[in-house]
Amino acid sequence: MGAENDHGHAHAEGDKHAHAGHVQSHGADDGQSNLNMDAATLHVLGDLLSSVGVIIASIFIYFWPSMWIMDPICTYIFAIFVSYTTLPTV
């Protein structure tokens, strides 16, 4: 079925399992993405988008104080974007 390896038992190609606190991979890379890395990337991009939204809203409010509505508008746009992009992760 699989080749004998240096830790005493055989694995099929592509098998993964933990040994002493780390994960060993046998065989070719399966091309799948890491869920933790995807979530961390989305988190960083979400924070970046949120900061850009705050800056845009603050510029509008600074020059046109009557445009205070830009702050909640940017917040809602951000919330929709984050909700849409995190659904695949969930």
pTM of the model: 0.53
2, 13 contact by CB (below 8 A): yes
Exposed / middle / buried, residue 37 (Cβ in 10 Å: 0-12, 13-18, 19+):
exposed
pLDDT digits (tens, 9 = 90+) for 19-70: 555 555 544 455 667 888 888 888 898 889 889 888 989 999 999 999 999 9
Give the other-Cβ count within 10 Å of 40's Cβ: 11
Indicate if the pLDDT at residue 5 is higher than 60.
no
